[in-house]
Amino acid sequence: MLAFEQYTPTKVVFGKDTELQTGKLVKEFGGTRVFVVYGGGSVVRSGLLDRVMKQLEEEGIACMASGGVKPNPTLAKAKEMIKEAIEFGADFVLAVGGGSAIDTGKAVAHGTANPDKDFWDLWLKKIPLTKSLPIGCVLTLSATGTEMSDSAVLTNEETHYKKGISTPFNRPAFSIMNPELTYTLPDYQVRCGIVDIMMHTLDRYFCGKAGIGNELTDQIAESVLRTTIAAGKVAAKNKCDYDAMSELMWCGSISHNGLTGLGGIRDFSVHGLGHPLSAWFDTAHGASLSVMWGWFAEYVWQENPSRFARYARNVWGIDEADDEKAALAGIKATVDYFKELDMPTCFTEANIPVQDEEMLGKLADNPTAKGTATLGSFKKLTKDEVIEIYKMANH
């Protein structure tokens, strides 16, 4: 096992009606002027936003709400909200919604705390991020794990560049998780979330030094995957099953708080491959991952067949002694599961038109910094290799 640091300071408040504790939690973490970030109209229509604002007001906390965050959150919207938060004098950010609202909330926290800095330069780490505002969140979608993670992602629509930033400042002070708040989600978002939860673990499980002296972490990762797969089958048919939605919500948090990758080397190749699809074609994040995982796995599995074989046996229960046959069976089982969820596994299934090689090269520019860097750690992929994987999915 490699050396590692584990830091997950987020206070999790899990269960029914926990959103009614919002005001007390904001006060506990020092918020007096709260800028509330939310997405589309679902939190308004469900009455959740009103309940949250009421909790803040009952605690005597000044608050301002700003909505309109869309899936695949954008730099432009984040900058617009940063301006509003600065003018309001916010000292705390509260995100109400799914991953897009929370990631935008993190951006607002960073930008508001650094009004004299160019925000995009902060995001790209061209200048150091040394301070931020505290952020809390009320989660409505089990997917990204951003409610406990040190990560956040934005898309620059002008350049079609989707970029994440990892920093301890991204860790929320608290996260309220009531599985019942996910009941109103569109079915497609539930299914996308299932894929995203799996991928946050898979992108750590298939990594550099995979399987070397890392047994506890591996077993935690495998358990998260098995639980997500089983709960996902139920949730895809009945998104109001409290037990299944509870398991997915907690798996989503565990999958991306760092726990499932301790002692390894982060890979995140599939996220790197998927991000350009969202940036260029506005493909849903979970769909971009289901499109790319099978082709990535097919391209790289021979780097470490025993790792893929272990995954097949321990996650999918595949009874095959030959590592190569087991590895291929595990890849097929995963892709078949995505299909069972009615998730896309190639470009056309994701409503992405077949692309010419020039466009595939533009897609590959994002994860490889225009060919100046490699992608991943399980197999370090050059720009040409990334293009080859895109070719495999391009039908």
The domain containing residue 329 runs over which residues? 187-393
What's residue 212's pLDDT? 79
Q: Among residues 163, 181, 199, which one ends one of the domains?
A: 181
What's residue 209's pLDDT? 80
What's residue 87's pLDDT? 98
Pick from 212-221, 290-299, 314-323: least confident: 212-221
Residue 382 scores a pLDDT above 80? yes
> Are 189 and 245 spatial neighbours (Cβ–Cβ below 8 Å)?
no
What's residue 211's pLDDT? 75
Of the chain, the percentage scoring pLDDT greater than 70 comes to: 100
Q: What is the average per-residue pLDDT within 307-321?
A: 98
Residues ≥6 apart with Cβ < 8 Å to 34? 26, 56, 61, 62, 63, 64, 90, 91, 92, 93, 94
206 in the same domain as 64: no
Query: Distance between CA atoms of 222 and 249, rounded to whole angstroms?
Result: 17
Rounded to two decimals, the pTM is: 0.96
Q: Among residues 152, 181, 210, which one ends one of the domains?
A: 181
Count CB-CB contacts under 10 A for residue 392: 14
Residues ≥6 apart with Cβ < 8 Å to 248? 142, 179, 182, 193, 194, 197, 228, 231, 232, 235
Q: Report if residue 2 sits inside a domain.
A: no
Q: Among residues 122, 154, 181, which one ends one of the domains?
A: 181
Whole-number average pLDDT of the chain? 96
176 in the same domain as 191: no
163 in the same domain as 58: yes
To the nearest 10°, report the CA torsion of 271, 144, 196, 367. Answer: -10
Q: Report if residue 5 sits inside a domain.
A: no
pLDDT digits (tens, 9 = 90+) for 241-299: 999 999 999 999 999 999 999 999 989 999 999 999 999 999 999 999 999 999 999 99
235 in the same domain as 167: no
258 in the same domain as 159: no
Residue 332 scores a pLDDT above 80? yes
Q: What is the CATH number of the domain that holds 327?
A: 1.20.1090.10
What's residue 150's pLDDT? 97
Quote helix, strand, coil % in the chain, to nearest 5: 55, 10, 35
198 in the same domain as 176: no
pLDDT digits (tens, 9 = 90+) for 61-114: 999 999 999 999 999 999 999 999 999 999 999 999 999 999 999 999 999 999
Pick from 205-214, 319-328, 375-384: least confident: 205-214
pLDDT tier at 14, thresholds 50, 70, 90 = very high
The total number of structural domains that make up the chain:
2
